[in-house]
Amino acid sequence: MAPVAVTETPTPSLQPKIQQAATPLQKDDTYENYEGSYKFAPITEAEVSRAMIKRYFNTMYDRVISDVVIIGAGSAGLSCAYKLGSTRPDLKITIIEANVAPGGGAWLGGQLMTPMVIRKPADRFLRELGVEYEDEGHYVVVKHAALFTSTLLSKTLALPNVVLMNATAVEDLIIHADPKSQGQRVGGVVTNWTLVALNHDTQSCMDPNTITAPVIISATGHDGPMGAFSAKRLVSAGLLKELGNMRGLDMNRAEPAIVNGTREVAPGLIMTGMELSEHDGSNRMGPTFGAMIASGVKAAYEAIRIWDSSEIVAGRIVA
């Protein structure tokens, strides 16, 4: 018997059904009524899935090469993203956040209390965002930390050049030979879904993905489950001799140390926020957020300085 030819295309009898499943239902009139007659526009489950998948993976495809990657969407990371994104709309800024909810510890003040204390002159940033506060002289108080965080988050994500990938963990740093010196240079991040990253010990190998960028800004906070990630990785990668380890709480020493210490700690890697306390061995500051804002703003300016002074090809600094 002669071999039977196998085709990979659907048979004619199945083709109409496949096409029909992909087309939206006939549109009916909607009706906004809150007395029992509210009517939504019709939709298929396939439309919902395709609307998300197409946009998300198009974004992933585009941001495989980014201009700046920010690790961590806490108060420092978001302040940096907002200042950088609004100052330089030409740069593609990608934020990677391990948690489902961005914002880090900035949804509350101290000891689960809601008011947020911000020392001057960081109150200027609140006026830029349009966040109201009570002026107490040397400091201001926002009535609820979530008001600051939600406003900053919404204004940051409204910028067309900023993308946030939450529930995504940075598992490692990409490190190449530095064309500017004889040393090493951070040139990107290694990413995975956070739920995958948390279960490497319970499953077989689940390889990660990568994002290439000439400038990485690390804002992962002080030591914790995923805190101080880049600082600790610099040590294990041989780019830093040892951690400075965070010192005890002293607000008057801690806040200026964090802001003034915000810098490129290794070629290609800027560090901002409380992660610097672990890197440098500076004091912790507790529930006051002015340094987080100002450190994030300074990190944005540092990123612009590196970008404008470098020759960049395909997301890599070449000279």
- Binding-site residues, please? 76, 97-98, 105, 170, 207, 222, 274, 284-286
Per DSSP, the residues of 6-42 read --SSPPTTTHHHHHHHHSPPPP---B--SSS--BPPP
Question: Side chain identity at 105, as an amino acid letter?
Answer: G
Residues placed in the known binding site for substrate:
76, 97-98, 105, 170, 207, 222, 274, 284-286
Helix (H, G, I), strand (E, B) or coil at 302: helix
Residue carrying the six token digits 């598992």: 171
CA atoms within 13 A on the CB side of 121: 2
Q: What is d(CA 112, CA 9) in angstroms, rounded to the nearest whole number?
A: 59
| Element holding 135 (H helix, E strand) | strand 134-135
The region, left, alpha or beta by phi > 0 then psi within -120 to 50, assigned to residue 185 is: beta
Q: What is d(CA 80, CA 210) in angstroms, rounded to the nearest whole number?
A: 22
